[in-house]
Amino acid sequence: MSTVVQLQHYVDGAWVPGSGSPVISYNPARPDEIVAQGLQAGQTEVEQAFTAAVAAKSEWARTPAHERGAVLLRAAVVIEQNAEAWGLELAREEGKTRAEGHGEVLRAAQIFRYYGNDGDRAAGEIFSSPRRGEKILVTRKPLGVVGVVTPFNFPIAIPAWKIAPALAYGNTVVWKPASTVPLLALRLAQALEAAGLPPGVLNLLIGPGSMGNAIVEHAALDGLTFTGSTSVGRRLAAAAAGRGVPVQAEMGGKNPAIVLADADLNLAAEQVMLGAFRSAGQKCTATSRLIVAEPIADDFLAMLKQRTEAMVVGDPTNPAVQLGPVVNDSARKSILDGVAAARAQGASVVAGEDPYDDGDLATGYFVPPTILELPAGRELDIWREELFGPVLSVRRAATVEQAFELANDGEYGLSAALFTRDLTHALEGMEDLDVGILHVNSETAGADPHVPFGGAKKSGYGPKEQGAAAKDFFTHTTTVYLRGGAPTP
Ligand code: UN1
């Protein structure tokens, strides 16, 4: 039995116990096991965090970008050195497999390394002027104090995507991670502390959802970046916009994989399985819809059924396990309710058992990997609503055009995967699929730190994340019309 970690908050360079109500995080594979516990932050800590972030902001903004980057690079080393141990903690607290947990921690290090080096890249632009003796410069400045609100499903990678660029570009941060999976937030703050981040530049508050409101309503807030559910994201974005605060929100997805008749079916089956079931489907980029060409549909569904039934479900810290639990009991209930509703509305089960009702899989928050085929020509909620679990809905398409129409059906447009060996179809997909991220012959999830990440349509709001796109959110530009005076004699 591992030790219980004591949760604390990081405010103005010090670890503090918090003045709010108790918070406990459990192992979702064995809910009688406590992973971490402590007291939540309260309004007192929110005030202290903002005071510290405001006090630190001008000095951090003035620190040369190279020096800010050096702190991030040192943090990357600390994260990497701890990747095994923190990856295991992540698997224990969130429920993704140990290999995925380890991979996520390494990914956080990679993100810190990318932004750590950004201080040595271009810092602005220079234009010619229509007037003699003048140059026009576009320089960048940090927003100031940025609120960072992050979800449970990538408890270190998503914070890294937001915090690394926020700090690299000279902002100070007040950060509220999801209180259901708080442990990796502590680890990230510890890495930055060990790397020599000055006090007040990053403030970590573990608190309830309502703390997101306290952050967005705070008078000292200069920007807000959020990843999480559509309903919370829209509410926070509206509140931020109402106060004139710039906002970046990454929200829902209902991402399709489209398997055309000419696809490499083994590759497509392997990738659809990864997209649908890794992290138990708890990714905004997970594959939750499959659109399969009619002529190959029976064969392809048989391949998926066989692979789904062979999946090893269990404690994610066991290296043989491929699918762990979902994050908590209410997630399990809402996913199972969604499956039951789809079945009641006419969906048929391609693969998937009834809910686990005895043994460890019933005690933990496990959901059987499930594939449902939806009846043609009928509207089912599961086709449009994000379940955030290991559930894939399937429809057949008679033509490529119909496949793309089905893929574009819905309010989200985060990512899509297109499986084809025909270049013409790949090019048509690039043109016609209304998404922020398109994978040709790979799964819908995955993101590299040096390129933009984010959705089309209602999946996101505000500038995209990562790569050069992050700069658009975390800085504002000043256009400088630069002339000299008369030459001194
Ligand atoms: C990935 O696809 O590997 O909330 C990352 C999410 C996304 C991150 C996806 N913002 O799931």
What per-residue confidence (pLDDT) applies to 102? 98
250 catalytic? Reply is yes
Give span(s): CATH 3.40.605.10, the chain: 5-251+459-479
Compute the average pLDDT of residues 18-40. 97
Residues above pLDDT 70, as percent of the chain: 100
Question: Does the CB atom of residue 154 touch ligand 1 within 6 A?
Answer: yes
Question: Does the CB atom of residue 178 touch ligand 1 within 6 A?
Answer: no
**Is residue 171 within 8 Å of 144, Cβ to Cβ?**
yes
Which residue has a Cα nearest atom 10 of ligand 1?
284
> Model confidence over 220-253: pLDDT tens digits?
999 999 999 999 999 999 999 999 999 999 999 9
Query: Which CATH number applies to 255-440?
Result: 3.40.309.10
DSSP code per residue over 142-158:
E-SEEEEE--SSSTTHH
What per-residue confidence (pLDDT) applies to 231? 94
**Is residue 180 within 8 Å of 328, Cβ to Cβ?**
yes
386 catalytic? Reply is no
- Looking at the domain covering 5-251+459-479, what would its CATH class be? alpha beta
Which residue has a Cα nearest atom 6 of ligand 1?
284
Which residue has a Cα nearest atom 3 of ligand 1?
446
What per-residue confidence (pLDDT) applies to 468? 87
What per-residue confidence (pLDDT) applies to 123? 86
Instruction: Enter the DSSP assignment of 370.
Output: E
Q: What is the pTM of this model?
A: 0.97
Question: Does the CB atom of residue 285 touch ligand 1 within 6 A?
Answer: yes
Compute the average pLDDT of residues 412-432. 98
Above 80 in pLDDT, residue 2?
A: no
d(CA 37, CA 85): 19
> Model confidence over 171-187: pLDDT tens digits?
999 999 999 999 999 99
Place 378 in a pLDDT band, splitting at 50, 70 and 90: confident
Give span(s): CATH 3.40.309.10, the chain: 255-440
Residues above pLDDT 90, as percent of the chain: 96
What per-residue confidence (pLDDT) applies to 489? 80
Instruction: Enter the DSSP assignment of 486.
Output: S
Enter the tokens of residue 316: 């994610």
- Cα–ligand 1 centroid distance for 454 (angstroms): 9
Above 90 in pLDDT, residue 423?
A: yes
Question: Does the CB atom of residue 274 touch ligand 1 within 6 A?
Answer: no
What per-residue confidence (pLDDT) applies to 121? 87
Compute the average pLDDT of residues 25-49. 98
pLDDT, averaged across the chain: 97
Residues 6+ apart with CB under 8 A from 407: 256, 258, 289, 291, 416, 433
Question: Does the CB atom of residue 278 touch ligand 1 within 6 A?
Answer: no
What per-residue confidence (pLDDT) applies to 382? 97
d(CA 199, CA 173): 11
What per-residue confidence (pLDDT) applies to 1? 52
What per-residue confidence (pLDDT) applies to 316? 98
